[in-house]
Structure formats: C-alpha cells, structure tokens
C-alpha cells in the first residue's frame, strides 16, 4: 500500500511523529521550500522529517527514472535544524538506491562544485538560502551545472505526493573529507591581486562566514570581517544582501574601516551584494553592468544573459555597445538564468537578486557569491586609478528601486498575477496614460514588465520561492518618475485583498 504524504498535520501530535507531512506548495518552480517551524512557533509546519525522507526517496526515484548515475553530493547550511533535515533526506535517497556523498556543512556553490570534484551526477543542498529561520528547502540538480527547472520539479512533486517512489537496494553512504578545502583552493588558484585591496566581508552570521574571509585573504585582499562568526540565531540581521538592513550595516562598516568596497553574502553563499567606498549601495544589476563593461573589453563579442528585473542599461549602455556585447533578457530565477547561460554559451549571466553565473573560462556556470566577489576585486585591480564609486558614477544615470515583496499566498499569487497581466495589457491597448505617457511595451515573459515612453518601467511578478509578489521599478528620466511608477503599481495592487503590505517601500 502506498504511503501518501499529508498536506496538513498539526505539530506536537501523534500523527506528526508517525505520518509524512509535505505541503504541495513547497514544490516551487525550481526550488523546494517549506516552513519547517520553530519550537515556539504557532505557525503550522509544512514539512516534517518523515516528509523530508519521502522527498529523498522521490529524488532518488527521479534519478533512476531519468537514467542518471545514482551518485549524489549532499550538503547543508548552518541552521540548527538543517543537519537533521539532511539526515532524513539522505535516508530517503539511500532507500531509493542512491549512493550519497555527504560533504558536510556547505554553501550552495560548494555543493555544486562537489558535483565536479566528486564526479557526481546529482546534487542536493539543504538550505533556506536567505529566508528567515523556520524555513528550509532543497536545491537540486542531476546535470551539472544545472539545477531543477519546472519540468523536473513537477515530476518530483508527482512522485512524492502520489507515492510513486520505488525502494531499491544498492544505496550507500560516505562522509567525504576535504571538500571545503578543495573548493577554496579551486576558487583561488591562479588569482592574485596586485595590491591588498581593503574590503569589508559581511556574512550576517550565515554559512558564508566559514568561507569568505579565508578565500578572499588567499587572493591578497585586506579583509575586514563583519558578522562572519557562525550563529544560527542571526542576532544582527538576516543574511540577505538585497535587504536594506544588511546593506546599511555594510555601508557603516565600509565607511568606518575606510574600505574600498563592502561585499555581503547571503545565507547559502550564492549571492554577493555590494556597497562602494562612498557608502553607496549598488544594486546587483548595476554591478553587473560594471562587470560586463570590464569583461567585454577582454572577451570579444561577449554574450550576457540578464533577468527581467534588471536595468535597461544592458541594452543601452554606450560602452557595452562599443565593445560589441550582446545581452539576452530572460526569466527571473537562478535555474532559468543558469540554463539560459548554458544554452547560449554566454560568458556571464546576471540577476538583479545578485545571482551571477560565470561560465568558462571564468567559472563553471553555476552561481557563486565568492566567484562574483573575486571578479569585482579583479575589476578594481585592473582599474587602480578608479574607485568603486568612480566606476558606479561612470554608468549612465538611472533611478531604480530595490526588489520589493508584498505578501501573497502561494495558493493565490499566480492567479493574482494573471489578472494583473490582463489589466495592464488592456490598459495599454486602450491607450491609458501613466505619468502623462503611453505604455509602449508590455513584456509578459515573467509576470508583466510595462514600459513608458521615456523608458520608465515597472515589473510585477509572482515570487518563485516565497509567498510574495515581486515589484521593481526604474526610470532613466528622473527619480520623480521612478517614484511615480511605484505609486502606480502600489495603486493597482491595493485593489487586491489577497495582497498584503510591502516589506519595504520607496
């Protein structure tokens, strides 16, 4: 008889300790994320350890179904419950006949590196990324350097929820020593700064604290560590370099220590945030333009990929145009951009969230915050007469917002966005004026990004990972028009009772 997971079981009950709890909404477009809960938490859990075991059995079954070699590298981030979740996941994988290679505590790029280092077809990284404590999840892949997209996630969801997992013999376990050292050595080999660039490395007490300071010192940087001590309670701020709280802490540390740049890493180390020597927070898409300028001067006809949340400068910047660079705008999401970079053989993919994907000859195509940090320091090293602020000021001026995330339940967010897309398209067709201008373009590749005559644009889409919408606005004309576009989006969203308050506003 099939053992089917339940979607709703109360914690602190007999059923919670004996049945599998897996809420279906945890299977997202390209990641798996659930609210695991805290001991004092009243919010109902969406997953228990038996549910995690079912997830492992499903992943192992999918590996056999797809005909890939049943060897998988498995790591976990630094949260007080992540190791327990990893043990349950590995138990399920072994029950499905998979050979588990446990790499221990890791950041996500170290797990991706382990696929190459250990010659494993699969990877499973237990992490909630930048999410707050109580969240957990798994980043998965069975074809390096790619991670799951919607097709794989949909099939995995069906296997787990329908009880289609198949137990197999032959599964095994081994703990692999030395992967952290091999990863740091791989990061830093053949990289040496010509001068000791003084930097702040901020980790928010997350997992990257076990890697960033050592790796950046090895290439010759003068590192000022900030919140690099591991502490799973995150006593200072949540490690998320898109959060203004973390960016402001980086700004203060950069100015206090007279650093040339502050680099901040998220909870699983695959993203890098930047504050310049003047204390200015630089959004990741603008940092990407700076890097694209630098790299396109070295690599002829460089191809880049960016997500729809990113600045329009990738198409309009005169330096990129003069260097012959080409840029493809694609769906937001690390799996989408990673796959697009792979398919187009692009040099780099940039996401506004701070996921950067350096392909050969710079990287292996996966997102790694430390590879991004090293590339930024090499850019500064190649421009000794210019500061990070100078490079920022050299870009054409635009006014852009942070990524804002009003609440919208997972069960409702996609339907809400479909209605919003229809409304924006209808208004554009009817010739509606916004800020006294017509809508000249409506891009629906990922939510809806609509652009006005002066280039001001706004984006509304459903988050792939959390129960939120995603809102971004930018104007090349004025700060006033950027704020005006936000007010227009705020007005539209206020008509929906399903949408809650913004996490931050402008």
On whether both 136 and 282 belong to a single domain, the answer is: no
Q: What's the confidence (pLDDT) of residue 293?
A: 98
Strands (E), 381-430: 399-400
Question: Do 477 and 456 meet the contact criterion of CB atoms below 8 Å apart?
Answer: yes
On whether both 272 and 312 belong to a single domain, the answer is: yes
**CA angle 281–285–287, rounded 5-degree value:** 60
Q: What's the confidence (pLDDT) of residue 39?
A: 67
Q: How far apart are CA 26 and CA 47, in angstroms?
A: 9
Q: What's the confidence (pLDDT) of residue 329?
A: 87
Question: Do 320 and 297 meet the contact criterion of CB atoms below 8 Å apart?
Answer: no
Is residue 87 classed exposed, middle or buried when 0-12, 13-18 and 19+ CB atoms within 10 A define those classes? middle
Q: Residue by residue, what is the 3-state secondary structure of 440-502?
A: EEEECCCCEEEEECCCCEEEEEECCCCCEEEEEEEECCCHHHHHHHHHHHHHHHCCCCCCCCC
Q: What's the confidence (pLDDT) of residue 297?
A: 97
On whether both 438 and 330 belong to a single domain, the answer is: no
Q: How far apart are CA 357 and CA 305, in angstroms?
A: 9
On whether both 41 and 66 belong to a single domain, the answer is: yes
Question: Do 250 and 226 meet the contact criterion of CB atoms below 8 Å apart?
Answer: yes
Final residue of a structural domain among 368, 393, 418: 393
Final residue of a structural domain among 121, 156, 177: 177
Q: What's the confidence (pLDDT) of residue 500?
A: 95
Let me know if residue 260 belongs to a domain: yes
On whether both 388 and 430 belong to a single domain, the answer is: no
Residue 145 preceded by cis peptide, ω within 30: yes
Final residue of a structural domain among 342, 368, 393: 393
Residue in 45, 129, 296, 401 annotated catalytic: 129
Q: How far apart are CA 496 and CA 501, in angstroms?
A: 11
Let me know if residue 502 belongs to a domain: no
Strands (E), 214-290: 222-226, 261-265, 272-276, 281-282
DSSP 8-state code for residue 317: -
Domain of 473: which CATH number?
Answer: 3.30.310.50
On whether both 340 and 449 belong to a single domain, the answer is: no
For residue 478, indicate whether it is catalytic. no
Which mean pLDDT values do the consecutive 10-residue runs of the chain (506 residues) have?
A: 87 94 93 86 91 98 98 97 98 98 98 98 95 94 95 97 96 98 97 98 97 98 97 94 92 98 97 97 94 97 95 91 94 92 97 94 97 98 97 95 91 96 97 97 92 94 89 94 97 96 87
**CA angle 77–270–333, rounded 5-degree value:** 110
Tokens of 34: 């659930």
Residue 361 preceded by cis peptide, ω within 30: yes
Q: What's the confidence (pLDDT) of residue 469?
A: 97
Identify the domain containing residue 256 by its residue range. 190-393
Q: What's the confidence (pLDDT) of residue 352?
A: 87
Q: How far apart are CA 429 and CA 394, in angstroms?
A: 37
Q: What are phi and psi of 174, to 5 degrees?
A: -150, 140
DSSP 8-state code for residue 236: S
Q: What's the confidence (pLDDT) of residue 1?
A: 53
Cα distances from 461 to residues 189, 207, 301, 455, 465, in angstroms, run: 40, 29, 32, 19, 12
Let me know if residue 389 belongs to a domain: yes
Domain of 90: which CATH number?
Answer: 3.40.120.10
Helix (H, G, I), strand (E, B) or coil at 90: helix
């Amino acid at each position: 008889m099939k053992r089917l997971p339940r979607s709703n079981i109360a914690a602190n009950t007999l059923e919670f300790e004996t049945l599998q709890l897996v809420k279906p909404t945890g299977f997202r477009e390209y990641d798996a994320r659930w609210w695991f809960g805290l001991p004092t938490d009243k919010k109902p859990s969406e997953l228990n350890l038996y549910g995690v075991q079912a997830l492992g059995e499903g992943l192992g079954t999918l590996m056999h179904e797809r005909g890939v070699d049943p060897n998988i590298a498995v790591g976990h981030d630094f949260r007080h419950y992540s190791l327990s979740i990893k043990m349950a996941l590995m138990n399920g994988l072994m029950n499905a006949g998979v050979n588990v290679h446990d790499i221990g505590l890791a950041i996500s790029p170290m797990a991706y590196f382990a696929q190459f280092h250990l010659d494993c077809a699969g990877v499973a990284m237990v992490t909630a990324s930048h999410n707050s404590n109580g969240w957990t999840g798994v980043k998965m892949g069975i074809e390096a350097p790619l991670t799951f997209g919607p097709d794989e996630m949909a099939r995995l969801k069906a296997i787990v929820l329908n009880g289609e997992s198949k137990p197999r013999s032959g599964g095994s376990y081994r703990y692999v020593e030395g992967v952290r050292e091999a990863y740091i050595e791989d990061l830093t080999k053949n990289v040496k700064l010509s001068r000791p660039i003084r930097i702040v490395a901020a980790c928010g007490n997350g997992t990257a604290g076990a890697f960033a300071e050592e790796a950046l010192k090895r290439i010759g940087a003068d590192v000022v560590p900030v919140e690099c001590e591991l502490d799973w309670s995150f006593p200072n701020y949540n490690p998320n370099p898109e959060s203004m709280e973390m960016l402001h802490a980086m700004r203060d540390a950069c100015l206090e220590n007279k650093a040339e740049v502050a680099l901040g890493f998220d909870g699983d180390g695959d993203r890098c945030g930047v504050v310049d020597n003047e204390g200015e927070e630089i959004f990741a898409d603008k940092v990407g333009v700076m890097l694209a300028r630098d790299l396109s001067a070295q690599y002829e006809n460089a191809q880049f990929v960016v997500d729809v949340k990113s600045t329009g400068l990738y198409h309009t910047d005169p330096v990129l145009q003069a260097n012959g660079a080409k840029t493809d705008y694609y769906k937001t999401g690390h799996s989408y951009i990673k796959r697009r970079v792979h398919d187009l053989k692009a040099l780099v993919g940039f996401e506004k969230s701070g996921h950067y994907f350096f392909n050969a000859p710079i990287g292996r195509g996966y997102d790694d915050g430390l590879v991004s940090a090293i590339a930024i320091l090499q850019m500064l090293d190649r421009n000794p007469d210019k500061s990070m602020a100078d490079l920022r000021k050299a870009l054409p001026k635009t006014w852009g917002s942070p990524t804002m995330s009003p609440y919208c339940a997972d069960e409702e967010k996609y339907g809400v966005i479909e209605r919003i897309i229809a409304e924006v398209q209808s208004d554009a067709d009817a010739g509606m004026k916004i800020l006294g201008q017509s809508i000249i373009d409506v891009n629906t590749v990922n939510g809806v990004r609509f652009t006005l005559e002066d280039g001001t644009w706004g984006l509304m889409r459903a988050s792939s990972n959390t129960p939120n919408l995603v809102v971004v606005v930018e104007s090349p004309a004025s700060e006033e028009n950027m704020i005006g576009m936000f007010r227009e989006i705020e007005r539209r969203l206020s008509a929906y009772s399903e949408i809650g308050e913004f996490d931050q506003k402008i």
